[in-house]
Amino acid sequence: MSSTSIVLVNAHALFREGLRHHLANSTEFHVIGEASNGQQAIQVVDLLDPDMVVMEVDLPGVNGLEVARAIKRSHPHIRIVLLSSTMDGQEVVKAIRAGIAACVPRNIAPEKLMQTLHQVRRGNYPINDLVLSSPDVAAQVLNAFRQMAAEEDTQSIYSPLSPRELQVLELVAAGRTNKEIAKVLDISNQTVKNHISSILRKLAVNDRTQAVVYAMRRGWIKVALPGDPLT
């Protein structure tokens, strides 16, 4: 896997410098650009088209969530890691709907942030770690999706996904990796990848997070609460 290009978006130059220093010690990441506000972030991302954006929510001008939505509309392949000071359930819901790959506390330790970046680089969505590790957040997230599902037309209840694809998507929603999904369902990693590709194609979405949101809104899948077994 080639090195992952990153754009850093944070209002504080000292934070960007510190993170750039940590990333410089890794051969798997390289910083290709920086921005200090939302509008600048959109312009830099449009110009450089990075693999990943690491961005705080509280930006001058356009906030991080709005920037994330704009980026995902124009560059759906870009993975976005969002740093937030609040991390309440409603903000997590908004982040998921914006297509965020990971949402972490602003005061996260550098080592933990690097672990998150490595997960995102591998195609995982550690935003689920937050949901599953906090019962209060999980309850707010699930309640919000139940309300959204209730607002959908009855025509949308039908799922175009096969029973096996729904099983795979539920495990994706629970934050499981392809390897873990393969073990739970007793199938190969390649079969898991094939199922996920089929899910994205059938739902006409760009990534796993969007597929989970789409299915949860329609009540096709459920999300395990903290402490629930994998199966």
CATH code of the domain covering residue 57: 3.40.50.2300
User: The CATH number of the domain where 177 resides is what?
Assistant: 1.10.10.10
pLDDT category of residue 138 using cuts at 50, 70 and 90? low
Amino acid sitting at position 123? G
- Identify whether 230 is part of a domain: no
Q: DSSP states of 93-122 as a string?
A: HHHHHTT-SEEEETT--HHHHHHHHHHHHT
Give the residue-averaged pLDDT of 179-206.
90
User: What do you get for the CA distance between the two ends of the chain, in Å?
Assistant: 32
The predicted pLDDT at position 181 comes to 92
Please give the Cα distance from 41 to 152 (Å, whole number). Answer: 34
The predicted pLDDT at position 97 comes to 73
Q: Which of 127, 142, 164 lies at the terminal end of a domain, its last residue? A: 127
Q: What are 45-95's pLDDT values in tens digits?
A: 999 999 999 999 888 878 888 898 889 888 888 999 999 876 666 677 777
Q: How many CB atoms lie within 10 A of CB 212?
A: 26
| Judgement on whether residues 75 and 188 belong to the same structural domain of the protein | no
pLDDT category of residue 41 using cuts at 50, 70 and 90? very high
pLDDT category of residue 205 using cuts at 50, 70 and 90? confident
Q: Distances in Å between the alpha carbon of 197 and those of 22, 42, 164? A: 34, 28, 13
Q: Is residue 208 scored above 60 in pLDDT?
A: yes
Looking at the 3D structure of the chain, how many domains does it have? 2
pLDDT category of residue 191 using cuts at 50, 70 and 90? very high
- Identify whether 143 is part of a domain: no
Which structural domain range is residue 68 located in?
Answer: 4-127
| Judgement on whether residues 78 and 175 belong to the same structural domain of the protein | no
The predicted pLDDT at position 78 comes to 92
The predicted pLDDT at position 157 comes to 47
Please give the Cα distance from 195 to 149 (Å, whole number). Answer: 24
DSSP element (H, E) containing 51: none
Both tokens assigned to 162: 């096969």
pLDDT category of residue 229 using cuts at 50, 70 and 90? very low
Helices (H), 82-207: 89-97, 110-121, 127-133, 135-151, 163-173, 178-185, 189-203
Strand partners, 104: 83
The predicted pLDDT at position 226 comes to 42
| Judgement on whether residues 156 and 112 belong to the same structural domain of the protein | no
Both tokens assigned to 65: 């969530």
Average pLDDT along the chain: 80
- Identify whether 156 is part of a domain: yes
Give the residue-averaged pLDDT of 141-170.
66
- Identify whether 28 is part of a domain: yes
- Identify whether 145 is part of a domain: no
Nearest to 222, CA basis, from 142, 128, 135, 124:
142
Reported for 195-201, long-range contacts at CB under 8 A and 24+ positions apart, including other chains, are: 195/164, 195/165, 195/168, 196/168, 196/172, 198/165, 199/161, 199/165, 199/168, 199/169
Sign for the pseudo-dihedral over CA of 105, 110, 116, 117? positive
| Judgement on whether residues 98 and 157 belong to the same structural domain of the protein | no
| Among the ranges given (15-29, 109-123, 124-138, 176-190), the one the predictor scored with the smallest mean pLDDT | 124-138
| Judgement on whether residues 108 and 8 belong to the same structural domain of the protein | yes
pLDDT category of residue 159 using cuts at 50, 70 and 90? low
- Identify whether 30 is part of a domain: yes
What pairing do the DSSP bridges indicate for beta strands 79-84 and 4-9?
unpaired
Give the residue-averaged pLDDT of 156-166.
75
Q: Distances in Å between the alpha carbon of 69 and those of 18, 64, 94, 104, 207? A: 26, 9, 10, 18, 14
**pLDDT over 70 for what percent of the chain?**
78
- Identify whether 195 is part of a domain: yes
- Identify whether 229 is part of a domain: no
